[in-house]
Amino acid sequence: MTNTIRQNVSLKTYNTFGIEVSCKNFTKIVDEIQLPNLFKEGQFSGEFFVLGGGSNVLFTQDYHGLIVQMGNKGITHFIEGNFIYITAKAGEVWNDFIWYCVERDFGGVENMALIPGTVGASPIQNIGAYGTELMDVFYSCQAFDTTTGEFTTFHNNDCAFTYRDSIFKSKYKGRFIITSVTYKLHLHHKINTSYGAINMELQKRGISSPTIRDIAEVVSHIRVEKLPDPSTIGNAGSFFKNPVIPTKVFDELQKIYPDMIFYTIDENRVKLAAGWMIEACGWKGKIDGNVAIWKNQALVITNLGNASGSEIYLTSSKIMNDVYKKFGIKLEREVNIL
In whole angstroms, what is the distance from residue 173 CA to residue 48 CA?
A: 12
pLDDT confidence of residue 289: 92
Tens digit of each residue's pLDDT (9 = 90 or more) over 1-18: 666 889 899 999 899 898
The whole-chain average pLDDT of the chain stands at 91
Contact, 167 vs 160, CB < 8 A? yes
Question: 169-207: per-residue pLDDT in tens?
Answer: 888 988 999 999 999 999 998 888 877 788 888 888 888
Tally of CA atoms within 13 A in the half-sphere of 19 that contains its CB: 28
Helix, strand, coil percent content, the chain, rounded in steps of 5? 30, 30, 40
- Supply the pLDDT for residue 162: 86
pLDDT at 1: 61
Alpha carbon distance 57, 51 (integer Å):
9
Closest CA to 329 of 265, 257, 267: 257
Q: What is the 8-class DSSP label of residue 4?
A: P
- The structure's pTM equals 0.83
- Give Dmax (Cα) for the chain: 63
**pLDDT at residue 58 greater than cutoff 90:** yes
pLDDT band at 163 (very low <50, low <70, confident <90, very high): confident
Q: pLDDT grade, residue 326 (50/70/90)?
A: very high
Rounded CA gap, 26 and 6, in Å?
5
The upper half-sphere exposure of residue 66, i.e. CA atoms within 13 Å in the direction of its Cβ, equals: 22
Compute, in degrees rounded to 10, the torsion defined by CA atoms 36, 39, 44, 45.
160
The 10 Å Cβ neighbour count of residue 281 is 19
Q: Rounded to an integer, what distance in angstroms lies between the CA atom of residue 228 and that of residue 234?
A: 8
Report d(CA 100, CA 185) in Å as an integer.
Answer: 13
Give the other-Cβ count within 10 Å of 129's Cβ: 18
Mean pLDDT of 308-312: 94
Q: Where does the pLDDT of residue 336 fall: very low under 50, low under 70, confident under 90, or very high at 90 and above?
A: confident
**First-to-last CA distance in the chain?**
30
For 109-157, how does the pLDDT look when each residue is reduced to its tens digit (9 = 90+)?
999 998 888 999 999 989 888 888 999 999 999 999 999 999 999 999 9
Q: What is the pLDDT of residue 2?
A: 60
State which amino acid sits at residue 147. T
Q: In this structure, are strands 75-80 and 83-89 parallel, antiparallel, or unpaired?
A: antiparallel
CA distance 281 to 293: 12
Active site amino acids: 164, 238, 334
Give the separation between CA 136 and CA 289, rounded to whole angstroms.
40
- The pLDDT, as a whole number, for residue 5 is 87
Lowest-confidence segment of 52-56, 124-128, 251-255, 298-302 by average pLDDT: 52-56
Residues in the chain: 338
Q: What is the pLDDT of residue 21?
A: 93
Query: Is 29 strand, coil or helix?
Result: strand
78-82, 212-216, 228-232, range with the lowest pLDDT? 228-232
Three-state DSSP at 100 gives: helix
Burial environment of residue 160 by CB neighbours within 10 A (0 to 12, 13 to 18, 19 or more): middle
